[in-house]
Amino acid sequence: MRRFTPLMILTLLIGLVGVSPAAAFSLAGGYFGPVEFKLTGFTKSLDNDPDSSFMNETWGIFQVTSITTQGGSNLWTAGTDGEYLYGMFYGLQDANVIFNGPGDVTIEQSGGSFDLYLATQSPADVGGTAFFLNTPNVRRTATDAYDSVTNLAGAQDFFSGNFAPGILPGDGVTTVVQNVDAATAPASGSGTGYGDITPGSGLYASLFDSNAYNPDGTPRDLLFDFFVTPTDPNGPAAAFDQRITDPVTGVAVVPEPATVLLLSGGLFGAAFRRKRNA
């Protein structure tokens, strides 16, 4: 079978640019390599509201505001070519809570999934910012559905996946670790964890299924490093517990030749060949 080199794949991409249908997502300058997804969003931390149908889990919604190189050079900004990236995460359970000292708490969480969508409008375009933020327990209509975020007009599945163990060496259960200041209510702090993209879960899943990280000898695709702060009690997102920010890192990988042909132009590229499992 004839092998396709990166140069041949790039030539195919160049030849196909401009012929794809709507939502041909791309990075500035045809960048290839490691990327950071800059994001902002809101969470319900261990949701226990009486009117919630999804109690005792941490979940939230988020927007990718930009994508940059790990050196900070901008590659894509929300609204570029009229495109937006919005998502939802859900199903994180508190597995272990460790009290380290006054106000210092470590929370080890298990499980959790995430979905990212490519849309041609933002939730604020539907009815204003307050419209989709002020009633989260009403807007969340299913485990993986949030009205005006996961069902935006023209939205396509970008990729989906699961939080995955590896952040604690030798621990095959914990997927996310948070260190928080319990002196604030809700708590503020930071967290980290790995993620695996589900093959075939979206139009761009194969382009980020990189196996770029290798904790405990198990390949992972994404690394989450995030910060949480309490929401403004007088702001439009007051019904959420926390605001979540930055970043998620990953690597855009060289697509298989069949993927190149299916997706046409406007694709993410990569500087590195897909890492092969031994």
Residue 211, exposed/middle/buried by CB under 10 A (0-12, 13-18, 19+)? middle
Q: What is the model's pLDDT at position 129?
A: 64
Q: What is the pLDDT along the chain (278 residues), one digit of tens a residue?
A: 334 333 333 332 322 233 233 446 777 777 777 889 999 999 987 655 555 556 678 999 999 999 998 888 998 999 988 899 999 999 999 999 998 888 789 999 999 999 999 998 887 776 666 667 878 888 888 999 998 889 887 889 999 999 999 999 999 999 999 998 876 666 788 999 999 999 999 988 988 888 999 998 899 999 999 998 888 888 888 888 888 887 899 887 644 433 333 333 333 322 222 333 33
Q: What is the model's pLDDT at position 127?
A: 61
For 259, the 3-state DSSP assignment is helix
Q: What is the model's pLDDT at position 261?
A: 33
**Rounded Cα gap, residues 272 and 75, in angstroms:** 17
Report domain extents, the chain.
34-252
Dihedral angle computed from the Cα positions of residues 4, 220, 76 and 18, in that order, rounded to the nearest 10 degrees: 30
Q: What stretches of 102-146 adopt beta strand conformation (E)? A: 104-119, 140-142, 145-146
pTM: 0.80
Q: What is the model's pLDDT at position 53?
A: 59
